[in-house]
Structure 1
Amino acid sequence: MNPTALIFDKDGTLFDFHATWGGWSRGLIEAEAEGDPVRMAAIAAALGYDLETGRFAPDSIVIASTTAEIADAMLPHLLGCDRQALIARMNARAAEAPQVPAVPLAPLFAELAARGVALGLVTNDSEAPARAHICAAGLAATFGFVAGADSGFGFKPGPGQLLACAEALGAAPGTCAMIGDSLHDLQAARAAGMVAVAVLTGLAPRDALAPHADLVFDDIGALPAWLDAGAITQA
């Protein structure tokens, strides 16, 4: 049975995680540490980020955490820093971060829309940066529902965002598929009673995601062929 709605994660799913956030994260760390190498190293370690390579560890908290959770990991190394001010700076910087698409997005989503499937986006990023990113990618009118961790529906791995998305799109949860790159995405799909589809354009490797997914694709470019083949329901 084909799903009636596809619900997408953002970072690591629509956009390649390392290519998008690697260099940006170094800039954030350097700015917040005011160039102090000791504080930079401490913040990088807290985030699971390698300052030498500009890459994240597979178990980095950045993979699926909210902006507030990432800020909380940084705060012990930023003495006297105001939490809300830090979150505001992070959101402002994130909104301006150039996004590197995992695949050519405009033609893919045109294909998906042509199949009559409803489309939604749920992310543990904040909503304002998420909307800025999809707008910059030419997808402003693509999604019938967009929610971030600060939108009032909770955040992944909880099911709240996904259930709100399904309701907004007029789709029963059991007829929806959640597509994401992290265990949080797959756990949220399970909690919401949706098909769990993993992609490998984030930080988590196949062997970490496969036991928790109904299927695993290299990237979201495989979705049209999957739909054409009749898709699946939950395993």
Structure 2
Amino acid sequence: MIKGILFDKDGTLFDFNATWGAFTETLLLSEVGGDLARVQQLADRLGYDLANKVFFPGSIVIAETVEVVAGHILPLLPETDKASLIGRMNGLAAQVPQIEAAPLVPFVGGLKARGLRIGVCTNDAEAPARSHLGRAGVEEAFDFIAGYDSGHGAKPAPGPLLAFARAVDLDPAHCIMVGDSLHDLHAGRAAGMRPVGVLTGPAGAEELGTVAEVVLDSIADLTDWVDEQNA
């Protein structure tokens, strides 16, 4: 019986490339003062295709924390320090318009109407995550929201997933972890949750299918699948 659903944010609740493609280019341009050669170096470092404004599968940006991503490009930005870079990244990220993978207000409302406990576990920072969910009109509907900096650790470690289960008083075996990356799915397995993949991030069905119990096109298909499992 599925009683709780924990969602990744980027690539799951929100379409990854549609949301973060333009942001990444803007960030890189701002960091190097419009120097296109350096922008290309940074894009290559991040696994970002500037021409098509999409992330390559395996890009470090897909599943890692902002601290890891900042540390990855810091050697190419000798004029700054890590703390300042992270601050600018979080500040910009909080303002990015999020492209919903499915209309979130009715989707989340449908889950709550079924009596399900729901949460968000992201490797983004908590403050930008709450900002994004708030602007989508669904922040208050979630029983639990955690970022990498919320004190529970970061995926693929199971800490934040187990924190969700404790917060909503559920056995992890009665919960599913829904995400678009192997980090999400491995975390789900490690926490004893059922992992569900979605294709609204850069990873394909074949990759996600190596870990996921099921791979759906998007969260739009999740409610029917949960109903089938609980029938």
**Which TM-score bucket, shorter chain as reference?**
over 0.9
**TM value normalised by structure 1:** 0.96
Aligned to 1:197: 196
Aligned to 2:143: 144
Q: Give the Å deviation of 1:154.
A: 0.5
Aligned residues: 231
**Residue 133 of structure 2: aligned partner:** 134
Query: Match of 2:23?
Result: 24
SS in 1 for 2:38: helix
Per-residue CA distance 1:187-212 (angstroms, 9 max, x = gap): 00010000000000001000000010
Whichever residue aligns with residue 198 of structure 2, its letter is V
1:44 to 2:30 alignment: no
CA distance in 1, matches of 2:30, 2:223: 42
Deviations 1:169-198 (A, max 9, x none): 111111110000000000000100000000
Measure how far apart 1:223 and its partner are.
1.6
- CA distance in structure 2 between the partners assigned to 1:78 and 1:195 by the alignment: 40
The aligned counterpart of 1:186 is 185
Name the CA distance, whole Å, in 2 between partners of 1:194 and 1:118. 14
Q: Which runs of 5+ in 1 are unaligned?
A: none
Name the % identity.
50
Q: Where has structure 1 moved over 2 Å in runs of 4 or more?
A: none
1:43-85 CA-partner distances (Å, limit 9, x unpaired): 1011001111111101111110100111011101101311001
Can you list the C-alpha shifts for 1:123-182, whole angstroms capped at 9, x where unaligned?
A: 000000000000000002111110001111110000000000110011111111000000
Q: Distance in 2 between matches of 1:79 and 1:231?
A: 54
Aligned to 2:62: 63
Show the counterpart of 1:74: 73
Alignment match, 1:230:
229
Specify the SS of the correspondent of 2:22: helix
RMSD of the alignment, in Å? 1.0
Deviation at 1:24, TM superposition (A): 1.0
**Within 1, Cα distance between the matches of 2:37 and 2:228?**
54
Counterpart Cα distance in 1 of 2:162 and 2:153 = 10
Partners of 1:85 and 1:175 lie apart in 2 by: 41
Give the aligned residue type for 2:128: P
| Aligned position for 2:92 | 93
1:153 aligned partner, one-letter code? H
Q: CA deviation at 1:231?
A: 4.5
SS at match of 1:73: helix
> Please, what TM-score do these two structures have when normalized by structure 2?
0.98
Structure 2 SS opposite 1:63? coil
Q: Which residue identity is paired with 1:112?
A: L
Please give the secondary structure, in 2, of the residue aligned with 1:22: helix
